[in-house]
Amino acid sequence: MKFTIVTPSFNHGSYFRTAIESVLSQNYTAVDYIVMDGGSTDGSAEIIKEYAGRLHGWRSAPDGGQYAAVQEGFGLSDGEIMGWLNADDFYLPWTFRLVARIFDQFPEIEWITSRFAMVCDAFGIVHSCHPMPGFNKDDFAKGENLGGLGLPSTGYIQQEATFWRRRLWDAAGASFDKGLSLAADFELWSRFFDLAPLVAVDAPLAVFRRHDRQRSQEQSQAYLAEARSVLERKGKIDWDVRSAKVRVLAKSSFPPEMRQLGISLGLFQPSKRLVYDPEEGKFNVVSY
């Protein structure tokens, strides 16, 4: 089972090497790794050239932006499992083996993400790894996975920790929304949710690096505006703050053994989760 992994980059040379090494050091060889640099002037091209012999493809030239670069990179490989890693983030040592194992065991699963969002500082020191209560189409459409709207949120879907089958990418149109420059990943998730449930695994898969120069920090309000427009297209965003608080609080506070009761009471929608059984040595998919 082969991966197609793309890293877009523009003037992130100070973090770039860590991202590249996190892909190339994986104990998994079936990986087409493509680096798409937008013509950086900070020495990034020289870093790429150091690794050129181990890359499936690369280029360093002006492009149409992050999402155009990722889409172009996806077209340079036919790997069955897809994902992209921004130049300031990085994977964990077990990521590809675990993801491949899940997709191999569950041919019906179309896309997965981590239930544990791991975040580090500018120096790569992890300072948080908090569990998400789960993901589903209805709550996503109501804005639950988007903070900053004045509604309670259980947390974002971690882009760098999300992987999917190429057939899902193809079924969703094999492209990003060209009208979005910041939240095209969020819009892609909305199309994926229309086609298949998102399944969460109880293990961190990637680390999001928080620093002052990242676009998500510098243009946070513009990102929210784009993401909000995506939700409004779906027409399901719930602006009743009180009911939203009840729903989010219920989902976050119900212990696992009580979640079915909460679902039956209509307090929250069920999500899909992968639970590892050490006695059987395999994962099981549960609705919770």
Average pLDDT, the chain: 91
Q: How far apart are CA 283 and CA 5, in angstroms?
A: 24
If one compares 169 and 239, the residue with the highest pLDDT of the two is 169
Complete edge-to-edge strand list for the sheet that includes strand 57-60: 57-60, 31-37, 3-9, 81-84, 163-165, 111-114, 198-201, 272-277, 282-287
One domain, residues 117 and 251 = yes
One domain, residues 123 and 227 = yes
One domain, residues 76 and 159 = no
One domain, residues 110 and 250 = yes
- Total domains in the chain come to 2
Q: What percent of the chain has pLDDT over 70?
A: 97
pTM of whole model > 0.85?
yes
One domain, residues 61 and 180 = no
The residue range of the domain holding 159 is: 106-288
User: Which of 47-51, 116-120, 150-154, 239-243 comes out lowest in average pLDDT?
Assistant: 239-243
The last residue of a domain, from among 38, 58, 88: 88
One domain, residues 186 and 68 = no
The letter for the amino acid at 79 is G
One domain, residues 83 and 142 = no
Instruction: Please report which confidence band the pLDDT of residue 261 belongs to, taking 50, 70 and 90 as the band edges.
Output: confident
Instruction: Answer yes or no: is 97 within a domain.
Output: no
Instruction: Answer yes or no: is 94 within a domain.
Output: no
Q: What is the mean pLDDT of residues 133-144?
A: 91
| Whole-number pLDDT of residue 218 | 63
One domain, residues 198 and 56 = no
Whether pLDDT at 215 is above 70: no
DSSP states of 121-168:
-TTS-EEEEEEP----HHHHHTTTT-TTSSS-------GGG-EEEHHH
One domain, residues 115 and 221 = yes
One domain, residues 80 and 113 = no
Q: What is the mean pLDDT of residues 80-84?
A: 98
Closest CA to 82 of 91, 90, 73, 93: 73
Whether pLDDT at 216 is above 60: no
The letter for the amino acid at 236 is K
One domain, residues 50 and 158 = no
Instruction: Answer yes or no: is 187 within a domain.
Output: yes
Q: What is the CATH number of the domain that holds 71?
A: 3.90.550.10
Q: How far apart are CA 187 and CA 193, in angstroms?
A: 10
| Whole-number pLDDT of residue 170 | 98
Q: What is the mean pLDDT of residues 235-258?
A: 77
User: Which of 54-68, 130-144, 190-204, 256-270 comes out lowest in average pLDDT?
Assistant: 256-270
The letter for the amino acid at 176 is F
One domain, residues 250 and 283 = yes
Q: How far apart are CA 174 and CA 73, in angstroms?
A: 12
Instruction: Answer yes or no: is 96 within a domain.
Output: no
The last residue of a domain, from among 88, 114, 132: 88
Instruction: Answer yes or no: is 195 within a domain.
Output: yes
Whether pLDDT at 18 is above 90: yes
Instruction: Answer yes or no: is 100 within a domain.
Output: no
Instruction: Answer yes or no: is 26 within a domain.
Output: yes
Instruction: Answer yes or no: is 45 within a domain.
Output: yes
